């Protein structure tokens, strides 16, 4: 692989890569605003300027400049090299690039940063971006001089509503055009554009339109400053109080990697953010996926309940498990059906398959019906784990919910034990379930099936447990526990194992890692790679390099 | 007790006794807050003593790891709480050493002045306590009266009497007020007068002399072996003062003497502290002159550096400019980004060498803050000063070590 030198570090690159791309891959960030690894190069922020040494035999392109000389109290003639934007300059073999080592570069960045802050409002205390804002980071690392312009800054529209999800503040905007490029390049719909020039510029929505579609929140996600804010997250939380938990979007079969940002004091999820994964979602997520943090806590099953004649009675999990076990014990072998769930994790389904195998029960799968997919990320199948549920069945036949209803109509099923309450059939057809003596359901969310359950057990949602999904491409991916289970909920695999033990089956699983270990042996393909917890450092912190000195301060 | 054999002549009998165990403290007024001594007494003679500190342990070092570098200052106030400004200075200098920065000259002189005022307050309290513990309550009250003047001067400068949290990484919270010169110059002669008055009551007093001279002797070797420093070490005859031997701030420019004792007894410790107060007054006088010589408006005429990565911007800039807001936000929320490294910064505090071993792994929080509290090491030497002496001698001897719980137990 060819290499170039960046501040005395050898950086390998592939042909056609820019300096900033190659450095980014090596974990070296050259300061930038407008460049984004997933978008085209705009080279308009000028923050990533670097000095490139002339090649052998070439002359450096030098510019005549006037430089302030404090001693003479006047400008003096000076020369400086022509700097190049690292985001646009292709890397070349043997190139020598200076970034942090060049005072010309440091000067240029300080001046760029100073210009960006000239008209910036004093908004940090009320800005959602504060704490993860590049203007803040680069002020301290690149500029660190006080304000010199004492005139009134230019005022522009604040809190412009772009659409249902995005609110725009023109005063905070730095015209990097990332949001415009997201609309153009990710969605292919030119909804946003830049109006005016100089310090009057403003991002505007195309006339007669509003910012709409399935990827509007990505415009906010790429905004390096606080110009675009999400109307859901706006003024809700301060980012430094949030802890990021690596997770997988439960919204559809694509399995986008994401972070859940959780406030550990309130034990509440405040937002989702895409987690970069070039094999799955690259840098992006759809709006529905971004909003799964709200859906997660809505319509939850929080208490165990049993049906008594026509009414439903809440009870403890233990009592409900006992009731379910005694009801199922009377069912003859072969007359029990087991329902897996395409919404539940691979581990939950795995224990359920084990349960079914020991009872010789046929497998069926509950799932949500199809939704609107697209060519970008959204899969038509809105179930995150259909592939995982089928994989753990290990070649056993897995019927659909419709097949189960047919079997019930045909009088082949006396009782059903199932995960989840979702259906991909029409609600009327569920009436046949009344012919079944016992319907035991383990579910996190209330759904159409829940009303038919004779025993309903509360399961933890996918935000509340560590587990895994297998996406439509067959990639098994782990998500980690972000919140404690709500109400009486416990992990579904635990409920299945306890039910099995109450029915005197051999289901020994008491710890999650036992389930994982068994899964790794029986269905290695469905066993995901572990993702590191957010607080665990990927590499141990470097040992102090400066030797201890014993000279006096 | 052994039965008395009636056949013996009464004159042959010694009073039979077993060593008695006596628990002294931690809640004993003479135990300076919270120290427990387990004494083994033979009559009134101390056969053995086990000194048990730790009752004031608050986890200073661990707490420091949780906050930002700047948030350690209030904790340092509570180390030796009789001279908090000296602790502030010690910690600030250690972090500045790690950052590789130096405070402008005026700030350095300001640190010397307030630090030396604190030292006088510290020694007044320590010497007053020795006298009080021997029954001489008047000098103690006089010394505290003088300490009050110093506290008033400190309050004028820092806004607080005791827990100042005044110095900052890179400087001080505020520049000196207009009263600095006049107020301090007016109190110094009065403080010196009080010290002389107090001594006049004690140094010709038979009881005071008998109970301090030749009592609680600490030999040179033992003092060195135990790592003692400050007045305790100097009273044993070793001429080591960080201000003189490894000058920091503007101490190198000041003309002052380091008093050294001969016998290492309680009397010498009292006298060393007394003399140090007089020397501190000299340092303050000279420093006030040095400060006057600084040309107004010159780069030297500032108490803090202006780098927004280290020092908070002025409040009016925080409220009116985005640059100020950002700097303030980053320093408060994330802390000063101290480069990775390890440093030992040490200064002469009231009780001796106050050391801060700081380890940074980058970022806004200290990775490790280790404090060398000087009186912990003096306390180590206390066993041998007490052992073999009378029970009543423990109190002035222990008082003369000037053990401060906050600094010893941390």
Q: What is the pLDDT of residues B85-125, one digit of tens each?
A: 999 999 999 999 999 999 999 999 999 999 999 999 999 99
Average pLDDT (B338-363) is 90
Taking CB atoms and an 8 Å cutoff, what residues of chain B touch A146? Answer: 306, 308, 313, 317, 321, 323-324
Taking CB atoms and an 8 Å cutoff, what residues of chain A touch B353? Answer: none
Tell me which fold the domain B60-409 belongs to.
Cytochrome-c3 Hydrogenase; chain B (1.10.645)
In the predicted structure, residue B2 carries a pLDDT above the cut 80: no
pLDDT tens digit string along A276-286?
988 898 899 99
Question: Which pLDDT belongs to residue A347?
Answer: 92
Taking CB atoms and an 8 Å cutoff, what residues of chain B touch A143? Answer: 323
pLDDT tens digit string along A439-478?
999 999 998 888 888 899 999 999 999 999 999 998 999 9
Q: Are A375 and A496 in contact (CB under 8 A)?
A: no
Interface test with A, best of B95, B308, B325, B339 (most A CBs within 10 A): B325
pLDDT tens digit string along A90-120?
999 989 999 999 999 999 999 999 999 999 9
Who among B248, B330, B340 is closest to A552 (CB)?
Answer: B248
Select from B363, B362, B350 the least CA-distant residue to B76: B350
Alpha-carbon distance of A2 to B32, in angstroms, equals 71
Question: Which pLDDT belongs to residue B41?
Answer: 87
The ipTM is: 0.80
Taking CB atoms and an 8 Å cutoff, what residues of chain A touch B339? Answer: 546
Alpha-carbon distance of A383 to A432, in angstroms, equals 25
Question: Which pLDDT belongs to residue A22?
Answer: 93
Average pLDDT (B180-201) is 91
- Does B89 lie at the interface with A, CB-CB under 8 angstroms? no
Q: How far is B70 from chain A (nearest CA, A)?
A: 17
199-258 of A, contacting B, C-beta below 8 A: 240
Question: Which pLDDT belongs to residue A549?
Answer: 41
Alpha-carbon distance of A303 to A149, in angstroms, equals 62
Chain centroid to CA A237: how far? 18
List CB contacts of A267: < 8 A, sequence separation 6 or more: A483, A484
Structure tokens at B128: 């007053």
In the predicted structure, residue B17 carries a pLDDT above the cut 80: no
Select from B121, B89, B95 the least CA-distant residue to B250: B89
Question: Which pLDDT belongs to residue A542?
Answer: 43
Question: Which pLDDT belongs to residue A538?
Answer: 42
In the predicted structure, residue B368 carries a pLDDT above the cut 50: yes
- Does B312 lie at the interface with A, CB-CB under 8 angstroms? no
Q: What are phi and psi of B160, to 5 degrees?
A: -135, 150
Can you say whether residue A454 is alpha, beta or left, with left for phi > 0 and alpha for psi between -120 and 50 degrees?
alpha
Select from A471, A382, A458 the least CA-distant residue to A419: A458
**Mean pLDDT estimate for chain B:** 88
Question: Which pLDDT belongs to residue B34?
Answer: 81
- Burial class of residue B273 (count of CB atoms within 10 Å of its CB; 0-12, 13-18, 19+): buried
- Counting every residue, how long is chain A? 553
Q: Do A541 and B324 touch (CB under 8 A)?
A: no
List CB contacts of A443: < 8 A, sequence separation 6 or more: A301, A341, A419, A420, A421, A449, A450, A456, A457, A458, A459, A492
Half-sphere exposure of A168 (CA within 13 A, CB side): 25
- Does B345 lie at the interface with A, CB-CB under 8 angstroms? yes
Taking CB atoms and an 8 Å cutoff, what residues of chain B touch A138? Answer: none
Interface test with A, best of B321, B327, B328 (most A CBs within 10 A): B321
- Does A539 lie at the interface with B, CB-CB under 8 angstroms? no
Q: How far is A181 from chain B (nearest CA, A)?
A: 28
DSSP strand pairing (A336-341 vs A415-419): parallel
Q: Which neighbouring-strand residues pair with A14? A: none
Taking CB atoms and an 8 Å cutoff, what residues of chain A touch B324? Answer: 146-147
In the predicted structure, residue B260 carries a pLDDT above the cut 80: yes
Number of H helices, E strands in chain A: 13, 25
Q: Which neighbouring-strand residues pair with A443? A: A458
- Does A538 lie at the interface with B, CB-CB under 8 angstroms? no
In the predicted structure, residue A541 carries a pLDDT above the cut 50: no
3-state secondary structure labels for all residues of B303-365: CCCCCCCCCCCCHHHHHHCHHHHHHHHHHHHCCCCCCCEEEEEEEEECCEEEEEEEEECCCCC
Select from A268, A246, A266, A297 the least CA-distant residue to A489: A297
Distances (CA, A) of B72 to A120, A149, A336, B292, B346: 33, 36, 66, 32, 16
Taking CB atoms and an 8 Å cutoff, what residues of chain A touch B333? Answer: 131, 240
Helix (H) or strand (E) holding B287: helix B266-293
Q: What percent of chain A has pLDDT over 90?
A: 62
Q: How far is A123 from chain B (nearest CA, A)?
A: 7
Q: How far is A147 from chain B (nearest CA, A)?
A: 6
Question: Which pLDDT belongs to residue A230?
Answer: 93
Taking CB atoms and an 8 Å cutoff, what residues of chain B touch A239? Answer: none
Question: Which pLDDT belongs to residue A319?
Answer: 92
Q: What are phi and psi of B40, to 5 degrees?
A: -110, 110
Select from A366, A444, A452, A358 the least CA-distant residue to A403: A366
- Does A145 lie at the interface with B, CB-CB under 8 angstroms? yes
Q: Do B329 and A553 touch (CB under 8 A)?
A: no
Q: Are A354 and A506 in contact (CB under 8 A)?
A: no
In the predicted structure, residue A194 carries a pLDDT above the cut 60: yes
Alpha-carbon distance of B353 to B22, in angstroms, equals 33
Q: E strands, A219-361, where? A: 228-230, 242-248, 257-263, 268-274, 304-308, 311-315, 336-341
Q: How far is B93 from chain A (nearest CA, A)?
A: 6
92-151 of B, contacting A, C-beta below 8 A: 93-94, 96-97
Interface test with A, best of B92, B94, B330, B361 (most A CBs within 10 A): B330
Helix (H) or strand (E) holding A12: strand A9-12
In the predicted structure, residue B268 carries a pLDDT above the cut 80: yes
Residue B8's pLDDT band (boundaries 50, 70, 90)?
low
Structure tokens at B190: 């009065």
Q: Do B326 and A124 touch (CB under 8 A)?
A: yes
Q: With 0.90 as the threshold, say if the pTM is over it.
A: no
Question: Which pLDDT belongs to residue A109?
Answer: 93
Q: Are A416 and A337 in contact (CB under 8 A)?
A: yes
Alpha-carbon distance of A1 to A5, in angstroms, equals 13
pLDDT tens digit string along A129-150?
998 999 999 999 899 888 888 8
- Does A135 lie at the interface with B, CB-CB under 8 angstroms? yes
Nearest chain B residue (CA) to A241: B333
Q: How far is A100 from chain B (nearest CA, A)?
A: 16
- Straight-line distance from the first to the last Cα atom of chain A, in angstroms, rounded to the nearest whole number: 48
Alpha-carbon Rg for chain A, nearest whole angstrom, is 29
Nearest chain B residue (CA) to A118: B322
DSSP strand pairing (A398-400 vs A363-366): parallel
pLDDT tens digit string along B158-171?
988 888 899 999 98
Rounded to 5°, angle at Cα A393 from A388 and A398: 95
Structure tokens at B138: 């008047």
Q: What percent of chain A has pLDDT over 70?
A: 96
Q: Do B323 and A546 touch (CB under 8 A)?
A: no
Distances (CA, A) of B186 to B145, B149, B181, B255, B285: 15, 10, 8, 21, 11
Q: Do A146 and B313 touch (CB under 8 A)?
A: yes
Select from A97, A83, A126 the least CA-distant residue to A11: A97
List CB contacts of A498: < 8 A, sequence separation 6 or more: A321
Q: Do B345 and A117 touch (CB under 8 A)?
A: no
Residue B407's pLDDT band (boundaries 50, 70, 90)?
confident
Select from A243, A250, A252 the least CA-distant residue to A271: A243
Interface test with A, best of B326, B347, B353 (most A CBs within 10 A): B326
A548 or B360: which carries more pLDDT confidence? B360
Q: How far is A545 from chain B (nearest CA, A)?
A: 6
- Does A140 lie at the interface with B, CB-CB under 8 angstroms? yes
For B204, which DSSP code? T
- Counting every residue, how long is chain B? 410
Q: Are B345 and B355 in contact (CB under 8 A)?
A: yes
In the predicted structure, residue B1 carries a pLDDT above the cut 70: no
Average pLDDT (B199-223) is 89
Taking CB atoms and an 8 Å cutoff, what residues of chain B touch A124? Answer: 322, 325-326, 329
Q: Are B223 and B264 in contact (CB under 8 A)?
A: yes
Question: Which pLDDT belongs to residue A427?
Answer: 80
List CB contacts of A150: < 8 A, sequence separation 6 or more: none
Long-range CB contact pairs, A474-477, < 8 A, 24+: A474/A387, A474/A391, A474/A525, A475/A255, A475/A279, A475/A280, A476/A346, A476/A388, A476/A525, A476/A526, A476/A527, A476/A528, A476/A529, A477/A248, A477/A255, A477/A257, A477/A280, A477/A528, A477/A529, A477/A531
Structure tokens at A302: 């929080």
Q: Do A135 and B324 touch (CB under 8 A)?
A: no
Q: Do B343 and A143 touch (CB under 8 A)?
A: no
Report the b/e string of B228-251 with b at 16+ CB within 10 A.
bbbbbbbbbbbebbbbeebebbbb
Helix, strand, coil percentages, rounded to 5, for chain A: 25, 25, 50
Helix (H) or strand (E) holding B151: helix B137-158
Select from A436, A428, A382 the least CA-distant residue to A409: A436
In the predicted structure, residue A544 carries a pLDDT above the cut 70: no
Taking CB atoms and an 8 Å cutoff, what residues of chain A touch B347? Answer: 553
Average pLDDT (B323-349) is 91
Taking CB atoms and an 8 Å cutoff, what residues of chain A touch B88? Answer: none
Q: Do A552 and B360 touch (CB under 8 A)?
A: no
Q: How far is B122 from chain A (nearest CA, A)?
A: 23
Structure tokens at A214: 């399935």
In the predicted structure, residue B6 carries a pLDDT above the cut 70: no
pLDDT tens digit string along A315-348?
999 999 999 998 888 787 778 999 999 999 999 9
In the predicted structure, residue A535 carries a pLDDT above the cut 60: no
- Does A117 lie at the interface with B, CB-CB under 8 angstroms? yes
Q: Are B41 and B391 in contact (CB under 8 A)?
A: yes
Select from B346, B312, B251, B310 the least CA-distant residue to B101: B310
Q: Which neighbouring-strand residues pair with B167? A: B172
Judged by DSSP in three states, A214 sits in: coil
């Amino acid at each position: 692989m060819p290499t170039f030198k960046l501040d005395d570090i050898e950086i390998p690159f592939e042909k056609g890569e820019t300096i900033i791309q190659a450095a980014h891959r090596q974990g070296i960030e050259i300061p930038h605003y407008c460049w984004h690894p997933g978008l085209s190069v705009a080279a308009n922020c000028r923050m990533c300027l670097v000095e490139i040494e002339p090649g052998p035999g070439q002359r450096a392109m030098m510019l005549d400049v006037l430089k302030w000389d404090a001693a003479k109290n006047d400008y003096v003639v000076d020369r400086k090299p022509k700097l190049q934007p690292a985001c646009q300059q292709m890397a070349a073999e043997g190139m020598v690039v200076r970034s942090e080592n060049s005072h010309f570069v440091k000067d240029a960045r300080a001046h760029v940063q100073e210009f960006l802050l000239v008209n910036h409002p004093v908004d940090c205390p009320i800005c959602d971006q504060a704490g993860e804002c590049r203007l803040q980071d680069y002020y301290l690392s690149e500029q660190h001089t006080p304000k010199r312009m004492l005139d009134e800054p230019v005022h522009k529209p604040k809190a412009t509503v772009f659409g249902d999800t995005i609110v725009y503040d023109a005063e905070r905007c730095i015209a990097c055009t990332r949001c415009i490029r997201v609309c153009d390049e990710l969605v292919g719909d030119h909804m946003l554009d830049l109006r005016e020039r100089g310090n009057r510029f403003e991002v505007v929505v195309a006339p007669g339109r509003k910012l709409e579609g399935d990827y509007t929140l990505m415009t906010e996600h790429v905004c390096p400053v606080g110009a675009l804010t999400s109307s859901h997250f706006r003024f809700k939380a301060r980012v430094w109080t949030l802890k990021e938990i690596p997770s997988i979007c439960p919204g559809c079969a694509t399995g986008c990697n994401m972070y859940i940002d959780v406030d550990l004091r309130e034990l509440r999820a405040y937002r989702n953010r895409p987690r970069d994964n070039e094999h799955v979602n690259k840098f992006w997520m759809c709006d529905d996926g971004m909003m799964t943090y709200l859906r997660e806590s809505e319509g939850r099953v929080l208490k165990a309940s049993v049906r008594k004649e026509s009414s439903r009675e809440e009870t403890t999990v233990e009592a409900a498990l006992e009731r379910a076990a005694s009801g199922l014990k009377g069912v003859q072998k072969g007359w029990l059906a087991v329902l897996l769930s395409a919404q539940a994790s691979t581990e939950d389904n795995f224990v359920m398959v084990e349960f079914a195998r020991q009872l010789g029960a046929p497998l069926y799968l509950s799932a949500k019906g199809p939704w609107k997919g697209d060519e970008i990320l959204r899969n038509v199948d809105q179930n995150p784990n259909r592939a995982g549920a089928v994989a753990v069945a290990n070649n056993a036949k897995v019927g659909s919910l419709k097949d189960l209803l047919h079997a019930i109509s045909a009088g082949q099923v006396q009782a059903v034990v199932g995960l989840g309450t979702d259906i991909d059939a029409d609600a009327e057809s569920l009436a046949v379930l009344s012919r079944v003596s016992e319907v035991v359901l383990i579910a996190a969310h209330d759904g159409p099936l829940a009303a038919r359950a004779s025993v309903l057990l509360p399961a933890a949602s996918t935000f509340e447990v560590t587990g895994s999904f297998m996406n439509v491409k067959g990639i098994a991916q782990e998500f980690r526990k972000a919140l404690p289970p709500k109400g009486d909920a416990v992990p579904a695999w635990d409920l299945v194992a306890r039910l099995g033990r109450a029915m005197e089956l051999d289901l020994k699983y008491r710890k999650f890692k036992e389930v994982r270990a068994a899964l790794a042996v029986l269905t290695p393909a469905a066993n995901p790679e572990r993702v590191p917890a957010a607080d665990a450092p990927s590499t141990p912190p470097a040992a102090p390099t400066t030797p201890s000195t014993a000279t006096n301060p | 007790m052994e039965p008395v054999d009636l056949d013996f002549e009464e004159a042959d009998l010694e009073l039979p006794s077993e060593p008695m165990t006596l628990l002294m403290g931690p809640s004993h007024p003479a135990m300076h807050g919270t120290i427990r001594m387990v004494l083994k007494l033979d009559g009134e003679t101390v056969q053995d003593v086990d000194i048990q500190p730790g009752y004031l342990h608050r986890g200073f070092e661990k707490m420091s790891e949780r906050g930002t570098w700047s948030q350690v200052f209030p904790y340092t106030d509570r180390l030796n709480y009789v001279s908090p400004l000296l602790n502030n200075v010690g910690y600030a200098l250690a972090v500045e050493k790690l950052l590789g920065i130096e405070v402008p000259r005026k700030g350095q002189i300001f640190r010397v002045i307030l630090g030396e005022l604190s030292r006088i307050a510290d020694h007044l309290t320590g010497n007053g306590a020795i006298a009080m513990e021997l029954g001489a309550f008047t000098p103690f009250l006089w010394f505290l009266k003088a300490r009050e003047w110093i506290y008033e001067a400190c309050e004028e400068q820092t806004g607080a009497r005791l827990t100042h949290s005044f110095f900052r990484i890179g400087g001080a919270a505020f520049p000196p007020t207009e009263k600095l010169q006049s107020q301090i110059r007016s109190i110094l002669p009065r403080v010196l007068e009080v010290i002389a008055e107090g001594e006049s009551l004690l140094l010709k007093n038979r009881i005071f002399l008998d109970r301090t001279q030749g009592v609680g002797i600490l030999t040179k070797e033992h003092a060195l072996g135990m790592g003692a420093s400050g007045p305790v070490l100097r009273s044993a005859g070793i001429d080591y003062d960080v201000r003189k031997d490894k000058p920091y701030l503007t101490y190198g420019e000041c003309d002052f003497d380091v008093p050294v004792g001969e016998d290492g007894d309680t009397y010498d410790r009292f006298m060393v502290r007394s003399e140090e107060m007089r020397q501190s007054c000299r340092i303050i006088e000279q420093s006030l002159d040095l400060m006057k010589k600084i040309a107004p408006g010159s780069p030297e005429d500032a108490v803090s550096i202006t780098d927004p990565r280290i020092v908070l911007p002025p409040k009016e800039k925080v409220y009116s400019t985005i640059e100020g807001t950002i700097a303030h936000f980053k320093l408060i929320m994330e802390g000063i980004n101290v480069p990775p490294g390890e440093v030992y910064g040490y200064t002469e505090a009231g009780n001796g060498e106050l050391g801060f071993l700081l380890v940074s792994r980058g970022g806004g929080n200290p990775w490790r803050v280790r404090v060398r509290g000087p009186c912990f090491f003096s306390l180590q030497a206390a066993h041998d000063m007490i052992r073999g002496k009378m029970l009543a001698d423990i109190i002035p001897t222990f008082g003369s070590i000037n053990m401060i719980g906050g600094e010893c137990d941390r």
